[in-house]
């Protein structure tokens, strides 16, 4: 079938909308008409280095099932779905509910640019186009997903549902599934983008005090509106400011930046036996090991909020329905045709969670 998709055609290049051909769903696959798609920092980072081009990104899709392939049982035509990451469902990690750490899923199922067998369902004028990003590539009018990464959302707006598949799941999941803070405890969030603010919303929902650190005024304002105390890293000794604001330091911290200097600030700010969750993409970090040891700190890497989408996304929807996860406060809508403008607004800190909408 003929679709429109936003292609990246050179490393670090812009999103360019092209007419492509998309195969119908094979075994286990689900054809989804995309109604909304969130732009995540991972999409913007990946296009800076992705070697297999042209490529269609997008991994926070939401829409309506149009058709299903052989063997699909959990969703059918007409179902409204949110798309998340894919896992195999059979490895030791999946068998224990830790699908975010699927032994085969991280690359083969989500980040290879093809199906696991090396094929691609996308083409242009007969030439293959890479896709299947997080088993969806939802920067397109239609996407080919898999039964395992489709979650029914009922009548929830696709604009609100789209970010649940990754950014909101990561932030809120890190709080609710990993840190599990006690009511009255303190969480420091480093980086108040969509992941950080989702963590802040979840922490406030369970009765925590939140401190948010971010250099962008718009993001600090959004964090403040959500109930957080905010700190401008350019105007303060960040660890000291956090300790002063929290009567001795936070019990928990969450870093979304992946930056060594910021991770060091989080470690310095934490109180004794605190926990730091690392969710930001980064390569290396240097920090004071002695501080970690003498304060008895725990450092924990987290993927996708330790969440199993089929179970956790319904929980997020329930929190939103209860008014405890006000997603609309962080979302800015852009027409799909303005995808590059949306990406630039995200990079500039002007839009916290850009969500593309489709006519």
Tokens standing for residue 286: 């240097």
pLDDT band for position 235 (cuts 50, 70, 90)? confident
Give the model confidence (pLDDT) of 341-352 as tens digits.
999 999 998 999
Strand partners, 6: 17
Domain 2-165+326-357 has CATH 3.20.20.70: no
pLDDT mean across residues, the chain: 97
pTM: 0.97
The two beta strands, 150-152 and 80-83, are antiparallel
Nearest Cα neighbor of 190 from 169, 216, 152, 208 is: 216
Nearest Cα neighbor of 343 from 47, 44, 4, 13 is: 44
What's the start-to-end Cα distance of the chain, in Å? 18
Domain 171-303 has CATH 3.90.1150.10: no
Give the model confidence (pLDDT) of 312-340 as tens digits.
999 999 999 999 999 999 999 999 999 99
- 101-110, 144-153, 262-271: which range is least confident on average? 101-110
Q: Which pLDDT value is given to residue 205?
A: 97
Q: What is the separation of C-alpha 56 from the centre of its chain, rounded to a whole number of angstroms?
A: 17
Give the model confidence (pLDDT) of 282-306 as tens digits.
888 999 999 999 999 999 999 999 9
Q: Which pLDDT value is given to residue 261?
A: 96
Q: Which residue stretches of the chain are H helix?
A: 41-46, 92-95, 158-161, 167-173, 194-205, 217-225, 238-245, 260-269, 289-294, 309-321, 339-347
Asked whether the beta carbons of 122 and 128 are under 8 A apart, the reply is yes
Q: Which pLDDT value is given to residue 89?
A: 94
How far is the C-alpha of 281 from the C-alpha of 278, rounded, in Å?
A: 9
Domain ranges of the chain: 2-165+326-357, 171-303
Q: Which pLDDT value is given to residue 352?
A: 97
Per-residue pLDDT for 104 more than 80?
Answer: yes
Q: Which pLDDT value is given to residue 333?
A: 98
Instruction: Count Cβ atoms below 10 Å from residue 145 Cβ, excluding itself.
Output: 29
How far is the C-alpha of 239 from the C-alpha of 211, rounded, in Å?
A: 11
Strands (E), the chain: 2-8, 15-22, 29-38, 55-56, 61-68, 80-83, 122-124, 127-129, 142-146, 150-152, 186-190, 209-213, 229-231, 252-255, 275-278, 298-301, 331-335, 353-357
Per-residue pLDDT for 242 more than 90?
Answer: yes
Per-residue pLDDT for 63 more than 90?
Answer: yes
Q: Which pLDDT value is given to residue 239?
A: 97
How far is the C-alpha of 306 from the C-alpha of 352, rounded, in Å?
A: 23
Instruction: Count Cβ atoms below 10 Å from residue 245 Cβ, excluding itself.
Output: 18
């Amino acid at each position: 079938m003929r679709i429109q998709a936003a292609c990246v055609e050179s490393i670090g290049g812009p999103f360019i909308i092209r007419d492509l051909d998309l195969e119908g769903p094979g075994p286990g696959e689900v054809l989804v008409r995309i109604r909304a798609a969130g732009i995540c920092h991972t999409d913007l980072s990946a296009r800076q280095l992705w070697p297999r081009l042209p490529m269609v990104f997008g991994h926070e899709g939401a829409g309506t099932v149009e058709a299903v392939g052989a063997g699909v049982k959990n969703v059918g035509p007409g179902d409204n779905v949110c798309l998340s990451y894919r896992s195999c469902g059979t490895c030791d990690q999946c068998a224990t509910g830790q699908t975010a750490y699927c032994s085969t899923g991280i690359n083969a199922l989500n980040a290879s640019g093809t199906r696991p067998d090396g094929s691609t369902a996308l083409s242009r004028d007969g030439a293959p186009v890479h896709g299947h990003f997080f088993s969806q590539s939802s920067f397109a009018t239609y996407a080919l997903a898999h039964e395992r990464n489709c979650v029914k959302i009922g009548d929830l707006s696709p604009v609100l549902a789209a970010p649940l598949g990754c950014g909101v799941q990561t932030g809120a999941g890190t709080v609710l599934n990993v840190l599990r803070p006690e009511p009255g405890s303190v969480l420091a969030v480093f980086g108040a983008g969509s992941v950080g603010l989702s963590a802040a919303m979840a922490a406030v929902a369970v009765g925590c005090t939140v401190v948010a650190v971010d250099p962008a005024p718009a993001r600090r304002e959004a964090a403040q509106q959500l109930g957080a105390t905010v700190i401008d890293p350019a105007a303060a000794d960040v660890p000291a400011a956090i300790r002063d604001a929290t009567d001795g330091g936070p019990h928990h911290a969450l870093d979304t930046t992946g930056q060594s200097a910021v991770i060091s600030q989080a470690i310095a700010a934490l109180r004794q036996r605190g926990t730091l969750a690392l969710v930001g993409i980064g390569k290396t970090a240097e920090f004071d090991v002695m501080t970690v040891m003498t304060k008895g700190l725990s450092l924990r890497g987290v993927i996708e909020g330790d969440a199993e989408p089929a179970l956790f996304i319904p929980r997020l929807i329930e929190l939103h329905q209860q008014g405890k996860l006000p997603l609309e406060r962080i979302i800015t809508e852009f027409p799909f045709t303005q995808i590059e403008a949306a990406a630039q607004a995200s990079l500039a800190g002007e839009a916290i969670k850009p969500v593309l909408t489709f006519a």
